[in-house]
Amino acid sequence: MVKINNLKSHKISVLHYWNLGLRSTRKIHRDTKIPLSTISYQLKKLRTQGSLKHRQGNGRKRKIDAKRARALGQCANHRVVKWLKYAKQGIIVAGGNREGNSFKQLSGPQGIIVAGGNREGNSFKQLSGPQGIIVDQFNQIYMADRGNNRVMCWLEGAKKGSIVVGGNGYGNESNQLFYPMGLSFDQQRNLYVADSINNRIQKFEIDFN
């Protein structure tokens, strides 16, 4: 449990969770016991400072995180556009040569949901702030399910995933994670997990049988 004693510490703690991508007032309150009103105020300030409003071709406003570049799939324009921080125009990284089926053309590019997509939650068909994705040679998708403190594996075409490691609540025991962020496999197929709040890297031997 994180103990908070003053307003400055409140601000630093909320900023830490913000940088991890956790924006839920109640989840931060649950972990830190900071008053809900204080968390809400700090998150509102961060949203105001950390987002830029960009207009797209349809005239609607879209918020783009100032810390990240975004690749936007433009279905009607048959292209993928990358937007950099503070950019006034995007960069075409795929397509943009009218609709077609040649190697330099696209036709209505859209994403396909391969895991989750059933709102935030902790069931086997739900995720909470997934991050750190790896796809192996069998098209199995491994992801750090950050908000649920677990690593999930999703088989190609499956409607629900399975827990690989974690899923025992947040904590610092060997079978627990606290906001896992990144994943990596070595040549022996051991799984390494960046266990962010615990400030450690955990190694797990995975049984693939």
Q: What are the extents of the domains in the chain?
A: 7-50, 69-95, 130-205
> How far, CA to CA in Å, does 204 sit from each of 15, 84, 165, 166, 181?
30, 36, 8, 10, 15
Q: How confident is the model at residue 168 (pLDDT cuts 50, 70, 90)?
A: very high
Spatial CA neighbour of 161 closest among 144, 184, 174? 144
What does the pLDDT read at residue 110? Answer: 67
Give the class (CATH, top level) of 130-205: mainly beta
- Diameter of the chain by CA atoms? 62
| Global pTM exceeds 0.75 | no
Task: Identify the CA nearest to 129 among candidates 177, 172, 61, 200.
Answer: 177
DSSP designation for 109: -
- State residue 154 phi and psi, 5-degree precision: -120, 120
Question: For 102-131, what is the mean pLDDT?
Answer: 82
Kindly report which listed range (110-114, 124-128, 204-208) carries the lowest average pLDDT score. Answer: 110-114
- pLDDT score for 54: 36
pLDDT at position 72 is 52
Mean per-residue pLDDT, 133-157:
90
Mean pLDDT calculated for residue range 11-31: 75
Q: How many whole angstroms separate alpha carbon 31 and alpha carbon 29? A: 5
pLDDT level of residue 46 (50, 70, 90 thresholds) = confident
Residue carrying structure tokens 């609709």: 99
